[in-house]
Structure 1
């Protein structure tokens, strides 16, 4: 009998899917591994017919090369065991000359207007940069009053480049909230 809540009587494991997948994956693993090991290994790629005879002649002339290739050199192995590499990052030339990095001078401004969410997180904002609150404020000012808040006035007020301000005013816009009451739905013009 199943309960109405959908719970089962026996303890259910949340990992039943994982255990089934694991059982399928590990099924007959030893036999599959033995079969793969016993397969014939791929042979070397065939040599070009024009190189067979020169290779055969060189092998017969220098039979000691085959033994030399397979031999391990104990002297080189002992030298390799003595190698210890310790690396450190190089010190940049700027830090060596001055000892510390200079930061660009920042403009310390208090936020303009009553912004309670901005006064909690005062940030040092360098000249030519804007906080999100200031960017939204200037976009809203330009949207509501485009005549006094021209691009030149905004650039002067916030110490910004005129090209950047023109791009900002052209490509960014603030959200506009429209509240539609049920009785006024029919009065709205179609969009």
Structure 2
């Protein structure tokens, strides 16, 4: 009930109050601080040409190319050859996954999320069967990158850090 009355008071004669506020003259800005003009000696130095600097500037040559134009030129030179080799997908999640269902192949040296989870899970559960060499061969990956991913990317391990004080609540397994 109080909100309804407050809204009625707030919206009373709203158009007239708005028009009155808009039609008011805007406040004038505060006057700027008077600044002293620089001495004439400084002004003359600023306006003079510095020949050594101009010579250095003339020696600089910048050549710029558009990366998109370079790609189109490369593809125009070799019309039948793709720049990146592609491989068919090994594993896919069932159903639409973030709108990527039309994905049928990926570049060599890359993985989809489904393939990465399958490879990491296989190595985690069966490290003797899913060796880094086998994963690298299966997915056309670099062996060094595969070993680094298996060593540093561990999505299935949960670590519970004990609290610093004895009085803090702790999550139990039961």
Q: TM-score scaled by structure 2?
A: 0.51
Give the distance between the partners of 2:155 and 2:71, measured in 1 at CA: 46
1:158 aligns with 2:158: no
Who is 1:116 aligned against?
Answer: 94
Give the distance between the partners of 1:169 and 1:6, measured in 2 at CA: 65
May I ask how many residue pairs the two structures share in their alignment?
Answer: 123
Cα distance per residue 1:1-48 (max 9 Å; x no partner): x61579532345xxxxxx9xxx9xx96325x2xx33xx5442123638
Please tell me whether the aligned partners of residues 84 and 108 of structure 2 are also in contact (alpha carbons under 8 angstroms): no
Cα distance per residue 1:73-116 (max 9 Å; x no partner): xxxxxxxxxxxxxxxx7x6597287286843232233x33x731
1:98 aligns with 2:77: yes
1:47 aligns with 2:41: yes
The unaligned stretches of length 5 or more in structure 2 are: 12-17, 45-65, 159-170
Give the distance between the partners of 2:122 and 2:88, measured in 1 at CA: 22
Which runs of structure 2 are paired with 1:13-162 in the superposition (5 Å)? 28-30=27-29, 32=30, 35-36=31-32, 40-45=34-39, 47=41, 92=70, 95=73, 98=77, 102-109=82-89, 111-112=90-91, 115-117=93-95, 120-162=101-143
The unaligned stretches of length 5 or more in structure 1 are: 13-18, 52-88, 178-184
Give the distance between the partners of 1:145 and 1:6, measured in 2 at CA: 70
Higher RCO by CA contacts (8 Å cutoff, separation 6 or greater): 2
* Structure of greater Rg: 1
Give the distance between the partners of 1:169 and 1:92, measured in 2 at CA: 36
User: How much does 1:121 deviate?
Assistant: 3.5
Cα distance per residue 1:53-82 (max 9 Å; x no partner): xxxxxxxxxxxxxxxxxxxxxxxxxxxxxx
Change (3 A) 1:157 1:102: closer
Where is the helix percentage greater, Structure 1 or Structure 2? 1
Change (3 A) 1:175 1:10: farther
Who is 1:169 aligned against?
Answer: 150
Who is 1:180 aligned against?
Answer: none
Aligned-pair Cα RMSD in Å: 4.2
Change (3 A) 1:6 1:144: farther
